[in-house]
Amino acid sequence: MKAITREWLARAKEDLLAAEILLAQPELTNMVAFHAQQTVEKTLKAVLEESAIATVRTHSLTRLYSLVEPHISMPVNQDMLDRLEAVYIQSRYPGEMGLLPHGKPSQDEAKQFYSFAQQLFQEIQPTLESLDNNTA
């Protein structure tokens, strides 16, 4: 596995840990959503790097997924990608529309975002790490 791939995965893991810790704070559901989005984005960018696909400067999960889809064997929930993408900017900055049509993510939505990011990371990380065994 390439060093840059390892770096993307390490950063994704940090965001996943942050999301997990923040789940204990019901008032910080927006930050759980942000870190879940970052986990997914960085995990997908790790696949881009390892697959020698030119890295794109985007936070769009749907765009990143469209680039890596041929290189991963797992199906990804497009609805969840869309939902996480929708809360990315709004989770960081105040806005007139709120984070979602009804405001900040609920605790249940935050848990869903975290679970989605965790599952994606846990399925992709071992696949990329196994490449070390294949090239050693």
Q: Count of domains in the chain?
A: 1
HSE toward the beta carbon, residue 11, CA cutoff 13 A: 14
pLDDT at 80: 94
* Distance of alpha carbon 58 from alpha carbon 33, whole angstroms: 17
Q: Which domain holds residue 39?
A: 3-135
Say yes or no to pLDDT of 108 above 90.
yes
Computed from CA positions of residues 94, 100, 101, 104, in that sequence, does the dihedral angle turn out positive or negative? negative
Q: What is the CATH number of the domain that holds 118?
A: 1.20.120.330
Q: Do the beta carbons of residue 125 and residue 43 sit within 8 Å? A: yes
Say yes or no to pLDDT of 135 above 50.
no
Q: Which tens digits make up the pLDDT trace of 23-49? A: 999 999 989 999 999 999 999 999 999
In whole numbers, what is the pLDDT of the chain averaged over residues? 87
pLDDT tier at 81, thresholds 50, 70, 90: very high
